[in-house]
Amino acid sequence: MSRNLIFFWIGFVEEGIFPNNCVLSNVRIFCNFIKKMSLNKTIVLFLYMSLVSGCRQQKSELTQIRPASDSKSEIAGNITINGAYALYPLVKKWSNDFMKIHPSIQIVVKKEGTGQGIEDLQAKQIRLAMISRPLTDEEQTEGIWLIPVAKEGVAPIVNQRNPYIKIILEHGISPKKLISLFTGNKPMTWGELLDTTSKEKAVVYTRADESGAAVVWANFLWKESTDLKGIKVVGDSEMIKRVQEDKLSIGYCNFSYAFDSVTGERIKDIQVMPIDLNFDKIIDRKEVPFTNIKKAHRGLWLGYYPKNLTRELTFGSIGKPSDPAILEFLKYALTIGQASVASSGFCELNDVYVKNALENLK
């Protein structure tokens, strides 16, 4: 087969002519296969048309179940939502945009933490809970039905003006020392954390509310969120503010709060702290902290970032919802609403996630 035909094929891939839900890895494998085999042009063309047809069919299937966002529906109702601080900005935007399409549906969104959201859901005070952590064994017995809407990571953070920032970025802090710092019975100095002679104490901040971020961070340290110690703050915004104000501080937050939602760059005076995962006191390529939200998301999806510091962000209800207004809102979040996920600092769901979630709504 001629080299020109091979490059013609590869050009289709690079120019994005294939639908978004085509798995490019499979395409690259096929390209390599073509280069190695002496296939005639008729066979290559047949294989090419088969792959494109399959991709288009998959995209058609997804398109058919997308809500008709450009026409105002007669669906009416009220939806009350409470829960995770991390999800609030995104869900608030979804709600405002959705109500413009469906003016007969009213949505009220509050942010009081995942734990409070689940309590309100169990008490039937709200219709949907924003949940940013796995359910406990007890909560699972309550019949809470979950559907994913985005992915997120939790990161340890320090002040960029920390006098030991160079050492922190070069050597990081091991999980063992982080366990002692966040759950130990006595304060630790930066010298103890970094193996230097510094006597300045590390100022530890943790969450006072029942947050998903606290649960994820505690699980990473093989602890419960109730084991975490430090100065208590409510919500990611207050965590960021406290760490910005204290150059000797250390805390943790959701990815979406560590980076600017507009530029995607690090928030002023906030540095994602590298974790010395292999205890060699050297920050390797996979341990280098992310410098912007795009790289953070790439690291999350490629598995560079510790899996136990990532999680699904979900909506929860008592049993699978049957209210047409709620179902239409959830479909919106999974389809048109995904366009707002990345700009809110989260990882959007891939097409497999979306398709499975939409099937779960039927």
CATH number at residue 111: 3.40.190.10
Round to whole Å and give the CA distance between 60 and 53: 10
**Confidence category of residue 299, pLDDT binned at 50, 70, 90:** confident
Degrees to nearest 5, angle at CA 60 with 151 and 26: 65
Are residue 184 and residue 146 in the same domain, yes or no? no
Are residue 168 and residue 261 in the same domain, yes or no? yes
Give the count of domains, the chain.
3
**Could you tell me which residue, 86 or 250, shows the higher pLDDT?**
250
Residues 164-174, mean pLDDT to the nearest whole number: 96
**Could you tell me which residue, 142 or 92, shows the higher pLDDT?**
92
**Confidence category of residue 46, pLDDT binned at 50, 70, 90:** very low
Q: 3-class DSSP state for residue 265?
A: strand
Q: With respect to residue 303, please indicate whether it lies within any of the assigned structural domains.
A: yes
Are residue 157 and residue 305 in the same domain, yes or no? yes
Are residue 195 and residue 305 in the same domain, yes or no? yes
Interval 184-215: pLDDT, tens: 999 999 999 999 999 999 999 999 877 888 99
**Confidence category of residue 125, pLDDT binned at 50, 70, 90:** very high
Q: What is the pLDDT of residue 146?
A: 95
Q: With respect to residue 343, please indicate whether it lies within any of the assigned structural domains.
A: yes
Q: With respect to residue 145, please indicate whether it lies within any of the assigned structural domains.
A: yes
52 is written with which tokens?
A: 């494109």
16 is written with which tokens?
A: 């994005």
Are residue 81 and residue 224 in the same domain, yes or no? no
Q: What is the pLDDT of residue 304?
A: 80
Are residue 282 and residue 323 in the same domain, yes or no? no
Round to whole Å and give the CA distance between 151 and 44: 38
* Domain end among 268, 287, 310: 310
Are residue 174 and residue 254 in the same domain, yes or no? yes
Residue 41 CA: distances (Å) to CA of 31, 37, 150: 14, 12, 43
Are residue 144 and residue 184 in the same domain, yes or no? no
90 is written with which tokens?
A: 């995104």
Round to whole Å and give the CA distance between 234 and 315: 21
Question: Which of the 8 DSSP states describes residue 279?
Answer: S
**Confidence category of residue 34, pLDDT binned at 50, 70, 90:** very low
Instruction: Report the DSSP beta bridge partners of residue 236.
Output: none
Q: Is the dihedral of CA 140, 146, 148, 153 positive or negative?
A: negative
**Confidence category of residue 177, pLDDT binned at 50, 70, 90:** very high
Q: With respect to residue 69, please indicate whether it lies within any of the assigned structural domains.
A: no
Q: Count other C-beta atoms under 10 Å from residue 172's C-beta.
A: 28
Round to whole Å and give the CA distance between 29 and 52: 15
Contact 158, 249 (CB under 8 A): yes
Assess whether pLDDT exceeds 90 at residue 231.
yes
Residues 259-267, mean pLDDT to the nearest whole number: 88
Q: 3-class DSSP state for residue 308?
A: helix
The percent of residues above 70 in pLDDT, for the chain, comes to: 80
Q: What is the pLDDT of residue 144?
A: 94
Q: Count other C-beta atoms under 10 Å from residue 102's C-beta.
A: 22
Q: What is the pLDDT of residue 14?
A: 37
Least confident of 28-32, 284-288, 292-296, 337-341: 28-32
Are residue 208 and residue 175 in the same domain, yes or no? yes
Assess whether pLDDT exceeds 50 at residue 166.
yes
Are residue 210 and residue 288 in the same domain, yes or no? yes
Are residue 172 and residue 305 in the same domain, yes or no? yes
Q: Which helix (H) or strand (E) holds 56?
A: helix 41-64
**Could you tell me which residue, 289 or 300, shows the higher pLDDT?**
289
Q: With respect to residue 206, please indicate whether it lies within any of the assigned structural domains.
A: yes
* Domain end among 273, 288, 310: 310
Give every CB contact of residue 105 below 8 A, 6+ residues apart in sequence.
Answer: 75, 76, 77, 78, 79, 98, 99, 325, 328, 329
Residues 68-72, mean pLDDT to the nearest whole number: 45
Q: What is the pLDDT of residue 289?
A: 87
**Confidence category of residue 100, pLDDT binned at 50, 70, 90:** very high
Q: What is the pLDDT of residue 300?
A: 79
Assess whether pLDDT exceeds 50 at residue 141.
yes
Least confident of 66-75, 200-209, 327-336: 66-75
**Confidence category of residue 61, pLDDT binned at 50, 70, 90:** very low
Round to whole Å and give the CA distance between 306 and 154: 10
Assess whether pLDDT exceeds 80 at residue 327.
yes
Residues 288-305, mean pLDDT to the nearest whole number: 84
Assess whether pLDDT exceeds 50 at residue 310.
yes
Measured in Å, how far apart are the chain's first and last C-alpha atoms? 47
User: Angle between the 41-64 and 24-36 helix axes, to the nearest 10 degrees?
Assistant: 170
Q: With respect to residue 66, please indicate whether it lies within any of the assigned structural domains.
A: no
Q: What is the pLDDT of residue 10?
A: 41
Q: With respect to residue 68, please indicate whether it lies within any of the assigned structural domains.
A: no
Q: With respect to residue 14, please indicate whether it lies within any of the assigned structural domains.
A: yes
Are residue 15 and residue 131 in the same domain, yes or no? no
Its domain, for residue 35, covers 3-61
